[in-house]
Structure 1
Amino acid sequence: MDDLVLTLDEAAERLRISRWILYTLIHSNQLKTIKIGRRRLVPVDSLVECIDSLKAVA
């Protein structure tokens, strides 16, 4: 089964960016996250949306 959500570290690794840049994307609402309990997770489809929106701007 493919992963539905990623931890912040996993998402940063998949995007090949630092955690600091990942947090910047989250705080600027370019990358959507969900919160389950105390954990913040990134849905895989949010990564695709983020990449698509960044490509549109470039």
Structure 2
Amino acid sequence: MDTATHLIDPTLALLTVEEAARRLGIGRTYCFRLIRTGQLESVPVGRLRRVPADAVHDYVTRLREANRPVVSTA
């Protein structure tokens, strides 16, 4: 594959599922599972499925918040 196909275009508003999976460092099938379960937002564009670029960031933010260590105040 051409190295240009591996570059991430930060100006894209909507990503293909493959592009979203690449940004998350996960497989395409797992990315579709996240979409199907509602964990990763996606939108239909005609017959296509696209992931808003900010949805990837939102998903990572939720993961980080869910996995933050609990700080004891005692």
Q: Which residue of the other structure, out of 29, 36, 40, is the alignment partner of 2:45?
A: 36
Match of 1:55 in 2: 64
The letter for the 2-side match of 1:8 is V
Q: Which has the higher contact order (CA 8 A, sep 6+)?
A: 1
How far apart, CA to CA, are the structure 2 residues paired with 1:57 and 1:21? 19
Unaligned runs of 5+ in 2: 1-9, 68-74
User: How many angstroms does 1:25 deviate by?
Assistant: 1.0
Aligned length: 58
Structure 1 equivalent of residue 4 of structure 2? none
Q: CA deviation at 1:21?
A: 1.2
- Distance in 2, matches of 1:36 and 1:22, equals 17
CA distance in 1, matches of 2:32, 2:16: 12
Q: Percent identity?
A: 34
1:20 CA drift (Å) = 1.6
**TM-score for the superposition, normalised by structure 2:** 0.72
Structure with greater Cα Rg: 2
- Where in structure 1 do 4 or more consecutive aligned residues deviate above 3 Å? none
RMSD: 1.3
**Alpha-carbon distance in 2 for matches of 1:24, 1:55:** 19
The residue number in structure 2 matching 1:22 is 31
Q: What is the TM-score normalised by the length of structure 1?
A: 0.90
Between the aligned partners of 2:48 and 2:37, the Cα distance in structure 1 is 19
